Amino acid sequence: MNDTAAKVVLVGSPNVGKSAIFNYLTGSYVAVSNYPGTTVDISIGRLKCGKKHFEVIDTPGMYSLIPITDEEKVTRMLLTTQVPEVVVHVIDAKNIRRMLIMTLQLIAAGLPVILDLNIMDEAQDRGMLIDIKLLGEVLGIPVIATCAAKKIGLDNLKQAIANHKRAIPKVFTLQEEIEQAVVKISRRLTRHYGLGKRVSALLLLQGDQMTLDMAQTEEEWLEIDAVIKELSVKYKVGLQAMIAAELQVVTDEIVLKVVKYAKLRRQPARTLAGWLGKVTRRPVTGIPILCFVLYFGLYQFVGKFGAGYLVDYINNSVFVPLINPFVERLARTFIPWDWVNSLLVGEFGIFTMGFRYATAIILPIVGTFFLVFAILEDTGYLPRLAMLVDAAFRYFGLNGRAIIPLTLGLGCGTMAVMVTRTLESRRERLLATFLLSLTIPCSAQLGVVLALLSHNTAAVAIWSMYMLVVFISIGWISAKLVPGKRSAFYMEIPPLRLPLLSNVVKKAYSRMSWYFMEILPVFIITSVVLWVGDYSGILNELIQCFEPAMLFIGLPPEAAQTFLLGFFRRDYGAAGLYDLTIAGKLTDTQLVIAAIAITLFVPCIAQFAVMAKERGMVTAVTMVILIVLIAFGSAAFVHRVLSLFAF
């Protein structure tokens, strides 16, 4: 990326359409979903306006300049360390009263702000009439109205970015006493805070940790601290709440000037969405709806259609009888060396095993999952699910927000561990990462397990009940063992929306190709490693070492290979399990045991790497050791119990 290109940073609260706008401006695709916290890291793209080149940066949403979660810190750091040419503050127009506060903060910070009133369609549906021109004059910055979902107004935004010129920022003053304290503090600030001195002083008064850390190294810190303390004793509600209320007063005055309301007739579509929105989050109706979604979305579509029908067709009717023999013939005709042949098309061949596992077994399952998940994300169901489970999640030391990484884990654990950044405390991120790595099967595992067990309803019931019990008990025990309290549940509930087909397809496709590009090299390397192991005899010895463990949990010795593979990638292990069953090597009881063990078994290498990066190596390794013990312990336990009942 060109470092000298002018930077355009898109900032704003979560779920206001920043990523949708980023995609339009740059022509690339980053995920757009109807829940707060979709973007957890920055994305960079290019924009060309006439002769000007820009580097556009999409950021994780943040509610205010004071970050709470890790992903909010990412945006704050970006604003203070980069020197943006333009900062586009994207807000949800219907929530202008709440969101304009941050616009004032950004202006006061001396940043070159353009205000984008997005989601104008919903504001208009509610009868809001916003005087854009007047708002621009009051704020002293360019204001643009857009509807990113329908691509309306985005070219105006492009023009505004291209023509933007820095102006002297307007100052919106607060109450006398606060202003005096701000002056006293900012006079004593000598370090480079990245934001203007006035805003830094205000942030200090509000207890912002990032500014505090720096201010404590100031020579006159004691004097600064005295000013803060002197002011805070005056306000019983606390300085932070006081300043927030003050900022709200200023914003309210502006909103009163620029927003008028038209009289509305009630719209039937809105009433239906409102009703559905309510019934999904009440336990009496919400739990049956959740069961309905899980049954049709996961069991029928991913399990039966994706992992059953599609895999069966692509693997057993296309790859095994047609493509594999063709490639084998090709290899044998043109490549005279036996060892190369076996490396490419042998039992562990790069093509016959690695490529086939990735394309014929894993991709259809992961693809169907991503499709269902994209639809769910775009409707706005997930935040409602978060509300529904919030009360139950308190027993696991989590709040309802954790449902988003946990359900995403049903797609890919690696992605999900990154999304735990949206959780507030270190403790919650730790607990969610552990539950994710232990109990949540990724879509590849889930699909294979459902497809293999689906002919026997009792087997599906035993497996799912067991997983639920492990989730609940391990969740409960870990919450007891890890000290700390759960944070309060706060999540904005967006309106239910009809998913846009183009976004659903693009998102599912982009995740599928990301996934495929990630797994293919690992699958190929795994095939090579296995081939070397097989050729040198090491694999056999390793498998032999693993065999007693297999017998201990009641599985045939051949299963050792599947578990070894699962170590490289969960999905590789799952695909191995599929192959074993097709070959008729497992009885129903053994299938249940294998399904339990492989679901609980260690996270794949990619997920482990993200765990180590996000939570630290020591934590990641400790988790893996615990997971291996629990997985084998569980499998052995189920083996003993099932043999008692002669299942």
Ligand X SMILES: Nc1nc2c(ncn2[C@@H]2O[C@H](COP(=O)(O)OP(=O)(O)OP(=O)(O)O)[C@@H](O)[C@H]2O)c(=O)[nH]1
Which of 11/311 has CB closer to ligand X?
Answer: 11
Sole residue written with tokens 């030391």: 397
The listed partner (ligand X, Mg ion, none) that binds 77, CB under 5 to 8 Å by sort, is none
The listed partner (Mg ion, ligand X, none) that binds 17, CB under 5 to 8 Å by sort, is ligand X
Which of 36/475 has CB closer to Mg ion?
Answer: 36
Which residues, in sequence order, are bridge partners of residue 58?
10, 43
The listed partner (ligand X, Mg ion, none) that binds 251, CB under 5 to 8 Å by sort, is none
Say if CB 30 and CB 20 are below 8 A apart: no
Sole residue written with tokens 């689906």: 454
Give the nearest distance from C-beta 371 to Mg ion in angstroms: 20
SS (H, E, C) 114-146: EEEEECHHHHHHCCEEECHHHHHHHHCCCEEEC
Question: CA torsion sign, 181 to 182 to 184 to 185?
Answer: positive
Give the nearest distance from C-beta 39 to Mg ion in angstroms: 3
d(C-alpha 125, C-alpha 97), whole Å: 17
Give the nearest distance from C-beta 60 to ligand X in angstroms: 6
The listed partner (ligand X, Mg ion, none) that binds 33, CB under 5 to 8 Å by sort, is ligand X
d(C-alpha 248, C-alpha 97), whole Å: 8
Give the nearest distance from C-beta 64 to ligand X in angstroms: 14
Give the nearest distance from C-beta 40 to ligand X in angstroms: 8
SS (H, E, C) 21-77: HHHHHHCCCCCCCCCCCCCCCCEEEEEEECCEEEEEEECCCCCCCCCCCHHHHHHHH
Give the nearest distance from C-beta 61 to ligand X in angstroms: 3
Query: What are the angstrom distances between the C-alpha of 229 and each of 215, 239, 240?
Result: 15, 10, 13
d(C-alpha 399, C-alpha 486), whole Å: 7
d(C-alpha 213, C-alpha 360), whole Å: 53
Give the nearest distance from C-beta 71 to ligand X in angstroms: 8
d(C-alpha 589, C-alpha 593), whole Å: 6
Give the nearest distance from C-beta 275 to ligand X in angstroms: 19
What are the φ and ψ backbone dihedral angles of 448, each rounded to 5 degrees? -65, -45
Give the chain's end-to-end CA distance (angstroms, integer). 60
Say if CB 80 and CB 65 are below 8 A apart: no
Which of 40/575 has CB closer to Mg ion?
Answer: 40
- Binding residues (CB under 6 A) for ligand X: these are 14-20, 32-34, 36-39, 60-61, 118-119, 121-122, 147-149, 378, 497
Which of 122/428 has CB closer to ligand X?
Answer: 122
Give the nearest distance from C-beta 3 to ligand X in angstroms: 25
The listed partner (Mg ion, ligand X, none) that binds 67, CB under 5 to 8 Å by sort, is none
The DSSP letter of residue 14 is T
For the purposes of burial, counting CB atoms within 10 Å of the CB of 413, is it exposed (0-12), middle (13-18) or buried (19 or more)?
buried
The listed partner (ligand X, Mg ion, none) that binds 194, CB under 5 to 8 Å by sort, is none
Q: Map residues 18-47 to x or -, x wherever contact with Mg ion holds by CB under 5 A.
A: xx------------------xx--------
Which of 118/211 has CB closer to Mg ion?
Answer: 118
- The structure tokens listed for 415 are 């992605």
Say if CB 413 and CB 570 are below 8 A apart: yes
Residue nearest to ligand X (CB): 61
Question: CA torsion sign, 40 to 42 to 43 to 45?
Answer: positive
The listed partner (ligand X, Mg ion, none) that binds 428, CB under 5 to 8 Å by sort, is none
The listed partner (Mg ion, ligand X, none) that binds 378, CB under 5 to 8 Å by sort, is ligand X
Which of 79/604 has CB closer to Mg ion?
Answer: 79
**Pick from 535, 586, 474, 631: which is nearest to 341 by CA?**
535
Which of 15/280 has CB closer to ligand X?
Answer: 15
Which of 34/39 has CB closer to Mg ion?
Answer: 39
The listed partner (ligand X, Mg ion, none) that binds 14, CB under 5 to 8 Å by sort, is ligand X
Which of 35/54 has CB closer to ligand X?
Answer: 35
Which of 20/597 has CB closer to ligand X?
Answer: 20
- Total binding residues toward Mg ion, as defined by CB under 5 A: 4
The listed partner (ligand X, Mg ion, none) that binds 20, CB under 5 to 8 Å by sort, is ligand X
Give the nearest distance from C-beta 496 to ligand X in angstroms: 10
Which of 39/589 has CB closer to ligand X?
Answer: 39
Give the nearest distance from C-beta 76 to ligand X in angstroms: 14
Q: Does 561 bind Mg ion (CB under 5 A)?
A: no
Which of 39/422 has CB closer to Mg ion?
Answer: 39
Q: Does 315 bind Mg ion (CB under 5 A)?
A: no
d(C-alpha 343, C-alpha 530), whole Å: 10
Query: What are the angstrom distances between the C-alpha of 338 and each of 332, 334, 345, 352?
Result: 8, 11, 10, 15
Binding site for Mg ion (CB under 5 A): 18-19, 38-39
